[in-house]
Structure 1
Amino acid sequence: MNAIPDRLTPHEALIGAMLFMAASGAHVDDAEIGKMTRLVRELPAFAGVDAQEVAAATEACLPLLAATDGVDRAIDLIHDALPPRLRETAYLLACEIAAADGEATQEELVFLQQLRIGLELDRLVAGAIERAARARYQLV
């Protein structure tokens, strides 16, 4: 396994936010993987990112998943890799993954809180992002 990185690129940080959100639940399910794939393909923040870069970003983050303090280190790396305007994007991506399978688990909610604090996001901004993600996945 690769060594724990000491820094991430902005794309790695955004992918890491989604990966850690998915991993914070009981297991990474098909809905979460599908959502991550669609987000990388569709969002302007990932313009020009190809499958190899996604694989490299995932590989960069995997050692953090196994580390005892991996979540804390990952959040610090995500924070440091992103300018403030993209920290909101990272939080949005994590919220999208949490909402993708229909219901956020307690573990996912804890991760979101840690991410919000680590990214230094205002509670009202984070609440609006959370509500928007939830609204996108409401069933008729």
Structure 2
Amino acid sequence: MADSMWIRVPVAIKAKVTEDLKLKIIGDLQNTIKQMEADLNQFDFQAKQVMNQAANDLSAAPRLREQIEVERKKRTDAKAEAEEQLKQANNLQLGAEIGYGTPMERMVEVKIGDNLQALMGAEILTEDGKIIAFRM
């Protein structure tokens, strides 16, 4: 029986909010919302064309209309979520720490008696893209 084992554990990536980071997040969200609006307009245009073509087929039109409404709702819900994220981004306090980036993993050796919860809470803190702290 082994006394230890190597395992992969998650590492959260956090960023300290700076003016540059806040502006980047806000700009990215504004661009995303603009793209969503353009996509929604294009979708509406194409949906009207499809509905006009299907107007003669009375059996297909209701089903098609329902599919269009479901897809439109998905898109408007996603846009509303992005708009809510934009509101939150505008309210970010400088110096606050936020989850930012893709979580990573690290390899750790665990031994009998180790506190597994303590190993699972690792974080990397960044500021303007540079690592400023490791928290274990």
Q: TM-score band (shorter)?
A: under 0.3
Larger helix share, 1 or 2:
1
Give the TM-score taking structure 2 as reference length: 0.23
Asked which structure has the greater RCO (Cα within 8 Å, sep 6+), the reply is 2
More strand by share: 2
